[in-house]
């Protein structure tokens, strides 16, 4: 497993909050992690400025790429504006959050023409990345079949920061593809079919796509810059195929409240790996 503090920095970059170690119970579970990452993007595209999350409170949806999450806290004399911009601090117990037994370093692996399956669908392994396993075994009702390699397993999904509704499922399809067969018909249908409008949470089967949208952070551990992506399994009964190849959407219906929206994410995405790549 990479340095624990490096992994906490990666979590901080994903969540937009300061993640610190503790020896007691964690404030966050791996499921909370994917909920926060997905919901931050969703609520940002909906025009909100903060996300209220149980056990943490208010999380800013403003970009924090230039914010030093591990810098000193705001001075006691800081004004309201400065204090409001301060990142929340979250405590997790690394022993309960990470599962080193299942770490896998794909950094120097090239699959070539080899094919792997998860849930009878092709699994594009994260070659070039170092995977830190999350402790998710025996955490869900119904057993761990979703995490396996058999026919009842869920397909693998990658989530990069910034994968939101701007990608579009139908109506915001890139302009240079408007002449593709069926696109105009699909676009016309999207006007009358709400489920095609792309309101929800996006992910992809291809880590190379997720990498284009991923977060970067400079580690205080070694001074190097890393990319970070979340590796999850996606419920095949909850996703929708996008017009763009290899994109998936977890659709959130209009009128869903915060609890319903969070429930939709929890039923649809389950994380199991934190992917790191040195820039």
> Which two three-digit tokens encode residue 59?
């999380």
Residue 175's alpha-carbon distances to 81, 170, 171, 180, in angstroms, are 41, 11, 10, 10
Interatomic CA distance for residues 156 and 271, integer angstroms:
9
Q: Is the pLDDT of residue 232 over 50?
A: yes
Task: For 40, list phi and psi in degrees, rounded to 5.
Answer: -60, -45
Q: Is the pLDDT of residue 87 over 80?
A: no
- Between 70 and 124, the more confident residue is 124
Task: For 231, list phi and psi in degrees, rounded to 5.
Answer: -105, 125
Q: Is the pLDDT of residue 132 over 90?
A: yes
Share of the chain above pLDDT 90, in %: 61
Interatomic CA distance for residues 131 and 41, integer angstroms:
23
* Mean pLDDT on 124-129: 97
Single pTM value for the model: 0.83
Mean pLDDT over each residue of the chain, to the nearest integer: 83
Give the tens place of pLDDT for each residue, 170-227: 433 333 334 444 444 544 444 444 444 578 899 999 999 999 989 999 999 999 999 9
Share of the chain above pLDDT 70, in %: 79
Given pLDDT bands bounded at 50, 70 and 90, which one contains residue 60? confident
Pick from 161, 170, 237: which is nearest to 203 by CA? 161
Those residues with Cβ within 8 angstroms of residue 223's Cβ, 6 or more apart along the chain or in another chain: none
């Amino acid at each position: 497993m990479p340095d624990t503090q490096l992994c906490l920095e990666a979590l901080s970059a994903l969540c937009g909050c300061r993640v610190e170690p503790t020896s007691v119970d964690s404030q966050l579970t791996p499921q909370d992690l994917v909920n926060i990452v997905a919901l931050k993007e969703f609520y940002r595209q909906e025009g909100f400025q903060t996300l209220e999350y149980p056990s943490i409170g208010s999380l800013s949806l403003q970009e924090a790429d230039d914010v030093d999450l591990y810098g000193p806290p705001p001075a006691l004399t800081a004004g309201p504006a400065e204090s409001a911009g301060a990142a929340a601090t979250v405590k997790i117990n690394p022993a309960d959050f990470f599962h080193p037994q299942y770490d896998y370093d794909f950094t120097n692996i090239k699959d070539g023409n080899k094919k792997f399956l998860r849930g009878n669908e092709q699994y594009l392994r994260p070659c070039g990345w170092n995977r830190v396993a999350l402790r998710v075994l025996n955490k869900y009702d119904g057993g761990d079949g979703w995490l396996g390699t058999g026919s009842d397993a869920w397909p693998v999904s990658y989530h990069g920061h910034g994968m939101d509704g701007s990608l579009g499922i139908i109506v915001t399809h890139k302009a240079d593809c408007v002449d593709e067969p069926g696109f105009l018909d699909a676009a016309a249908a999207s006007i009358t079919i709400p489920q095609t409008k792309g309101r929800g949470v996006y992910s992809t089967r291809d880590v190379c796509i997720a990498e284009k949208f991923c977060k970067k952070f400079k580690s205080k551990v070694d001074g190097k810059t890393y990319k970070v992506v979340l590796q999850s399994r996606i419920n095949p009964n909850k996703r929708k195929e996008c017009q763009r190849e290899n994109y998936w959407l977890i659709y959130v219906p209009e009128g869903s409240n915060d609890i319903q929206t969070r429930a939709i994410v929890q039923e649809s995405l389950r994380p199991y790996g934190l992917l790191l790549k040195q820039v």
